[in-house]
Amino acid sequence: MKNTATLLITCPDSRGIVAAIADFLLQHNANILHADQHQDAENNLFLMRVEWDLAGFNVDAAHFDQAFSPIATKFNMQWQLKLSQHKTRVAIMVSQYDHCLADLLHRHKSGELACEIPLVISNHRDTEDLVKFYGIDFQYIEVSKDNKPQAEAAQFKLFDDHKIDLIVLARYMQILSPDFVARYPQRIINIHHSFLPAFIGARPYHRAFERGVKLIGATSHYVTEVLDEGPIIEQGIDRISHRDQVEDLIQKGRDLERVVLSKAVNWHIENRILLYANKTVIFD
């Protein structure tokens, strides 16, 4: 397992930012492994991701804030420090469709997703055997219009008990309450089975078929209070023809959903995403 630190920075664009960060890391004996940056001229923003090896680095995490504060203050930075030794703890929420869940569990088991998945929550029991096969805690919580506050309260307790960092909606067919979303800002990733902003909401494949589109897609995005309008992380498309029926669209779409969601989760746990203005920057 690698032992690195990643610094994510957002601040007003100005000269000298890269030099100041590089000099700071050099002074503290850091070996930079990756560095990437993006300037948004329209919003006068500078965004950066820099990752370095912690072997020999002479500032520990507890004192990093104090050491880095002069630079952060000078350039008016918003910043986050992430350590690779802390594995993101992921909870997956699912309803009845299991294709995205199965894909995430397999990728995690094979080591492709460097995170921990201690919990799966569902409002149906269809995926219980699959989850238990992987040795993961499965919790069934029924959700209806009459018990939604109580159901979400039970979910919140499970997230707290399992110290969850990220929630993944792997075809969880429930709309989250504003309170739910507010509790976990930029910590909920959803997969929507269309190429947003087209066909938001329910039954997008059926609506795409009725519209006669020639391309279908899938979109992973962070969840906000506005349905299907959170910052987009990844999208994928596939071409269809007049010969394809709704069932064909659904099958092709499921393949897209698996790939698009797994990429989004992987980029999040590798600390490659910065958000601004309802957009994402995905660093290589």
Q: Which residue out of 40, 228, 238, 255 is catalytically annotated? A: 228
Q: Which class would CATH give 4-83?
A: alpha beta
Q: Sketch the domain layout of the chain as residue ranges.
A: 4-83, 89-282
Rounded to whole angstroms, the Cα distance separating 227 from 30 reads 43
Q: Write the CATH number of the domain with boundaries 89-282.
A: 3.40.50.170
Side chain identity at 284, as an amino acid letter?
Answer: D
Q: What is the pLDDT of residue 203?
A: 86
Split the chain (284 residues) into runs of 10 and give each run's mean pLDDT.
Answer: 94 97 97 96 96 96 96 97 96 97 98 97 98 98 94 98 98 95 97 84 85 90 92 95 89 93 98 94 94
- Running DSSP on this structure, what letter comes out for residue 184? S
Contacts of 56 (CB under 8 A, 6+ apart): 29, 30, 31
Q: What is the pLDDT of residue 233?
A: 98
Q: What is the pLDDT of residue 168?
A: 98
CB 172 within 8 A of CB 141: no
Side chain identity at 92, as an amino acid letter?
Answer: I
Nearest to 205 by CA among 242, 215, 263: 215
In this chain, the answer to whether the domains covering 4-83 and 89-282 adopt an identical fold is no
Q: What is the pLDDT of residue 174?
A: 94
**Residue 36 falls in the annotated catalytic set:** no
